[in-house]
Structure 1
Amino acid sequence: MASIDQQLAKLEKRLLSIPKELKTGLQPTLDKAAAEVAASAKTLSPGDDGTLASTIRVESGRHELSRAIVAGGAATTKPVEDGQDGSYDYAFAQELGTQHQQPNKFLLPAMRIRFQRNRRRITREAGKIIRGLWGRP
């Protein structure tokens, strides 16, 4: 089995070989898909005051064809209890759980809910762009 570094190098090589027209044409579709996942995550996020939901956002990913749905930040970062130094972002504790709390997942279920629909949407749009590159309607 190939190492993680080899797999990432292979993926990067494949991503670099994608035509620029396809990358550019897919941007709005990827943005829409990521926005829908973020909206679902906001709906599923725990908490009555909406602080965690307000921190859920879409950021650019590692490359031009990726998007990252991120939660947390300054609004959800609190000091560590029990007299220890430092702070902790409770968005992680909600999604992953702690030794004192079960996970209240909101990001992973949002991704799973939207996965098939977004996959079909992106595949359909990519097909349209590729057919346009080949001169087919």
Structure 2
Amino acid sequence: MARSSDQLRRLSRRFEAVPKAVKAAVDKAVQQCAEELVALAITLAPEDRGDLKASIRVAAGEHDLARKIVAGDADAFYARWIEFGTVDQPAQAFLFPAYRLLREKFKRRIDRAARKAIKEGWGL
């Protein structure tokens, strides 16, 4: 318990620093996970002309800590049909298998980054 105003100020600064440190650490871990997912999806994607593999990338998400993995662009507009299949063509999934393969690793990485940042923020 803080007994003086100086101790209270120091404690308040520590409280304010932890969320920033955690956000920065988690942001770095999320970016690393997204890049790893893109690399695996590119490896798993079927290749005809190479347009599909070239279109797989990381994009900004809806908020600071979100990333969006995008497959398909003007040249590879057919990415969803490859991933999910059509009436005439069976699915050749590449994005969801990559995600399922790496999901638990990503959870551990993000959790570890948050815990480490909290401990460093509190000086533990």
Return the letter of the residue paired with 1:131: K
Runs of 5+ consecutive residues of structure 2 not aligned to the other structure? 1-17
User: Matches of 2:116 and 2:23 in 1, distance apart?
Assistant: 13
User: Matches of 1:20 and 1:75 in 2, distance apart?
Assistant: 40
**Structure 1 residues 22-101: aligned runs within 5 Å:** 22-76=22-76, 89-101=77-89
Alignment TM-score, normalising by the size of structure 1? 0.73
Alignment TM-score, normalising by the size of structure 2? 0.80
- The secondary structure found in structure 1 opposite 2:75 is helix
Q: Identity, % of aligned pairs?
A: 42
Decide which structure has greater helix share: 2
- Give 1:4's aligned residue: none
Higher relative contact order (CA 8 A, sep 6+): 2
Q: CA deviation at 1:25?
A: 2.1
Say yes or no: does 1:131 pair with 2:101. no
Q: How much is the aligned-residue C-alpha RMSD, in angstroms?
A: 1.4
- Give 2:104's aligned residue: 116
Larger Rg: 2
Return the letter of the residue paired with 2:113: E
Residue-by-residue CA offset, 1:57-82 (whole Å, 9 max, x unaligned): 00111111111111001111xxxxxx
- Give 1:10's aligned residue: none
Runs of 5+ consecutive residues of structure 1 not aligned to the other structure? 1-17, 77-88
User: Matches of 1:39 and 1:66 in 2, distance apart?
Assistant: 18
- Give 2:19's aligned residue: 19
User: Matches of 2:112 and 2:69 in 1, distance apart?
Assistant: 22
